[in-house]
Structure 1
Amino acid sequence: MKGAILFIFASLVFHYTQGQERSIDYKTSLTGFVAYQNTLPFWTTSNKHGLIPNGNGTLLEIGAFSDFTNRHKIQFAYGVSAAGFLSRPENKVILDELYASARWRNLRLDLGMIHPAEKFNGVSSTNGDFVRSGNSRTFPGYNLNSDFMKIPCTKGIVSIKFNWADYMMIDDCYVEDTRLHNKSAYLKIQPLQRLEIIVGLEHWAQWAGTSPSGEKQPSSFNDYIRIVCAEAGGSGSTVSDSLNALGNHLGREHLTISYLADNYTLSFYHDIPFEDGSGTDFRSFPDGTYCLYYGSKKRDLWITDVIYEFYYTKYQSGSRHDRPATPEEIAKQDPNSHFYGRKVLGGCDNYFNNGEYASGWMLYERTIGSPFMTAGLSGGIIRIINNRVVAHHIGMKGMAWQTTPYKLMLSYSKNYGTYGNPMKKDQFSGALEVTLPFRKLPFSVETGIYCDLGDLFKDNFGFTIKLSRKGKLIK
C-alpha cells in the first residue's frame, strides 16, 4: 500500500514537471576502506546513514535529485539513490533514498525514504539530534512538517514549527513490521535581532508488528490514538503495555540559544533524552547533550566550523525502577495494583532499549540515535549494550590554504554499559577527512584516516579513499 502511494505521488510529480524548466543533479562515488583489524574504526562507519559495512571493502553510490523551484505555488522535489558494497562481512545492494516532496508556503510533505537534514555542517557527533542522528539507514513513510511560522500579534518575535510523521521499520528486527510514529513542536523566540531561542519537544514511538512467537502487537486505529497520546494499552496488549504506555516511547526535550552575528553564528544547544515520565519531568538530570558551536559564513577560512559536545547519560533517573514500599506507603496503595507493595521510583531508564521491542532503537543493527550508544549481542539479540556514557567530542571543519577542505573528529568516552550489565571501558576515536586539491581531474579525491584506542573497541587504524563526481543531468 505504501509503495503504491509513493508510486502515484512520484508519477504526479513527474507529470507536473514535464515541460517545465527543471534541473536534475547527479552524484556518484566509489569508496575503498581498509583497516588493520577485521572491523573498521568507529568514525569510519558512524553517521554514514548505515551505508558503510563494518569490514574492509568497497562501496559504490549513485543518485539523482531535483530540488524545489520557485516557479509555482506548489513546488516539488524528488530523489533516488542506491549503494552497493563488497566487503568481508557481506555483499549487498541498498536502496538508500527514494522520495518525493511537495512544498506549499511554510508546509512540506515528504513521502518515501529521505535522509535527515544535515545540521552544524556535519561536525556534530549526532547531527544535533540525540534521538535520530543519521547513524542508521532511512525508513519509508511520510512526514508532514513546517518551517517556522510567525505567530500573529507578536511582532514577529515568536514563531512555531511542527512535524507529524509515520514510518515502517523494514529491517529484520525482533518485532517484524514495526511501525514508527513521530511528532514534534518547536517554539522560537527572537527578542533581539541577533538573539534566537528555540525550545522544543520531540516524540517517537515504536508500535504494532509481529513478535517472534507470531503474536501480533495491537495495531488498530484506537491503538494508534493511544500511541499518539502515550496512553496505556487496551485489550490485547501485554502486561507491561497495559501498566505503562503502549509501545516503546522515547524522545528528547531540546533547547538552542544562538547569537547571530553578521559573519558567524554562535550556538549553545541541549538535548534531554527521555524514555518515560521521569525523563520529561527532569528527574534524569544531569543526563543529556551539552554543546557549543561556532560557524563562520566565510567558507575559505582555516577554521569555518568548530563544535564541542559533552554527553552524560550515566544517571538515567537512578539505578532502580522500584523498591519495596514502607508500611506507610503500602497503606496508601491499591491492593489490586500490579505494584502493590512496591514504590515506583521511575529509574533505570535504559536508553534506547525496550522489553517488548527487544531490538530497541536500532535499524539494520545500527543505532538510530547517538552512535555513542553502542550495540552488541545480548541474549541472542543485537541490542544496545552500552548506554551509560560520559563523552567529550570535538568536531572541526575548514579550508586549509584556501584550497583543501578538511574535517576533524575527536571523541573520548567513558563507557559504563547498562545498569543490568555494567562495564567500565575508556575509548578514544579520531578521524581526519581531507579533499585533495586535484582540480584538473574530472572527479574529486577524498581521503580519510581513522583510529580507535581504548577498551571498548579493538585498537585499530583505518584508511579510506573516495573518488566522486557530481553535476547536472538536465540543466
Structure 2
Amino acid sequence: ISVPGTNHWLHIKGHLAYGTFTDNNWQEDFARSGNLYTKDVLYHSKSFFMKVGKKESFPLEFEAGLQMAAQFGGKQYVEGQKEPIMKMPSDFMDFIRVLIPMSGSDNAMEGEQINKYGNHVGSWNIGLTGYVQDWRIKAYYEHFFEDESQMFFGYGPWKDGLLGVEVTLPENQFIDALVYECMGSKNQTGPIFYEGFRGEFEQVSAKDNYYNHYIYQAWQHWGMAMGNPLFTGPVYNKDGRIMFANNRINAHHLGISGTPGKEWAYRLLLTYSRNWGTYDNPFDDVKKQFSSLLEVTYSPVKWNGWSFSISGAMDRGNLLGNNSGGMLVIRKTGLIK
C-alpha cells in the first residue's frame, strides 16, 4: 500500500500468519531405528517490507524488508514409542512468544527458556530496481539467519546469503527476462571453537547448522526443505533421520524465459552446486550437482484460455545422482464454455 502523505513515494507491505504442519503420519512412518520425530507442530510467519521510489518521476526504486518464520508447540517422539518424550507448550502467550521472539515459559524445555522459544529462521532482503527506457534491471541480496548473531552483525560481516540480478528486456523475439543468482551457505558463523583459557564459560555463536534443530529436527515439511530447495531435504536420507545432511553449499543459477511468437513461450533453468555436507558430518569429497529444465508452452489464440506445455528435466552429479524426467501439461484458465 502507498503510505498517505508521501505522494506515492513510500510503499509498505507485510503479512502475519499462523498455521499447522500436516506431516504427522509421514514423520512417524519415515523415522526408523530409534530416530526422533515430531507431531502437532505449529507454524508462524511474518514479514514487513518497504519500497521507496516512484518510477514515473525517478528511474530508481529501493526496497528492503525482513521476513521470519518459526516452528513451535508440538510433541517430540522417538521411533518405537507411542508416548511423547517431550511436549512443547502452545498457550496463548506462546503465540506471542513467536510473534515477538522471546524466551519460553517455565513449561518449556530448559534450552527454550535460556534462548528463544521455538525454532526461528529468517532473512533480510534488499533490492534496487532501475528503469532505463524499456529495460528493467533489479539487483537484490537476501541474507538468511537462524540466530541473533547472524541477524544483527553479532559475528562480523554477513558471509552467507543469496545475490541476484534480474533483467526484463524490451519486447523482442528471443528473450523476455533472465535471472542470475549465486548462493553461499558455507560459513554459518564459522566452525565452533573454545576461547576460554581460565576455566570460565564464554558464549560462542558458531556452527549454526542451517535448517536443523534439536527439538523439531529440521525446517522441513513432508521431507522437503522450506524456502531453499538446494538444502538436501530429509526425504533423501536412507537411514530415516529427519535432518539435513547437506547445508553447506555454493551454487549458481541461471534462468531465461521468452516468447518467440504470440502463441509460443519457453523457459530454461540451469543450476550448478558444490556441496560440503555439514560441519558435524562433512562429506569426504565435495559433491557436485547440475540440474536443468527446459519447458515449451503453446497457447493457441483461437482457443482462448487453453495452453499445452511439454518439459524435460535432468540431474547429473554425485549428490542426488543422475535423474531424468518429463511432464506434459494441458491447462485451461477461465470458464469452460
TM-score in terms of structure 1 length: 0.61
Q: 2:242 aligned with 1:242, yes or no?
A: no
**Aligned residues of 1:310 and 1:393 also touching (Cα < 8 A):** yes
What's the offset of the Cα at 1:346? 1.0
Structure 1 unmatched runs, 5+:
1-147, 331-340
Q: 2:170 aligned with 1:317, yes or no?
A: no
Alignment of 1:256-405 (within 5 A): 256-282=127-153, 283=155, 285-296=158-169, 298=171, 301-320=173-192, 323-327=194-198, 341-358=200-217, 360-375=218-233, 376-377=236-237, 380-405=240-265
Q: 2:90 aligned with 1:219, yes or no?
A: yes
Q: Secondary structure at the match of 1:464?
A: strand
Name 2:14's counterpart in structure 1.
162
Q: Secondary structure at the match of 2:136?
A: strand
Q: 2:70 aligned with 1:208, yes or no?
A: no
Q: 2:291 aligned with 1:432, yes or no?
A: no
Measured in 2, the distance between the counterparts of 1:441 and 1:159 equals 39
Q: Compare 249-258 and 463-472 and name the one that shifted more.
A: 463-472
Measured in 2, the distance between the counterparts of 1:390 and 1:355 equals 25
What's the offset of the Cα at 1:207? 0.4
**Aligned residues of 2:2 and 2:9 also touching (Cα < 8 A):** no
TM-score in terms of structure 2 length: 0.85
Measured in 1, the distance between the counterparts of 2:8 and 2:299 equals 45
- For each residue in 1:350-383, what CA deviation from the matched residue of structure 2 results, as whole angstroms up to 9, or x when unmatched? 111111101x211111111111111132763232
What's the offset of the Cα at 1:262? 4.6
Change in CA separation of 1:465 and 1:285 when aligned onto 2, cut-off 3 Å: same
What's the offset of the Cα at 1:437? 6.3
Measured in 2, the distance between the counterparts of 1:200 and 1:342 equals 36
Which letter maps to 2:10?
A: V
Change in CA separation of 1:380 and 1:342 when aligned onto 2, cut-off 3 Å: farther
**Aligned residues of 2:263 and 2:300 also touching (Cα < 8 A):** no
- The Cα RMSD (Å) is 2.3
What's the offset of the Cα at 1:290? 0.1
Percent sequence identity over matched residues? 29
Q: Secondary structure at the match of 1:400?
A: strand
Change in CA separation of 1:231 and 1:409 when aligned onto 2, cut-off 3 Å: same
Structure 2 unmatched runs, 5+:
28-36, 78-82
Alignment of 1:42-61 (within 5 A): none
Measured in 1, the distance between the counterparts of 2:173 and 2:89 equals 55
Change in CA separation of 1:156 and 1:404 when aligned onto 2, cut-off 3 Å: closer
**Aligned residues of 2:2 and 2:8 also touching (Cα < 8 A):** no
Q: 2:21 aligned with 1:149, yes or no?
A: no
Measured in 1, the distance between the counterparts of 2:258 and 2:158 equals 35
Measured in 2, the distance between the counterparts of 1:432 and 1:219 equals 45
Q: Secondary structure at the match of 1:318?
A: coil
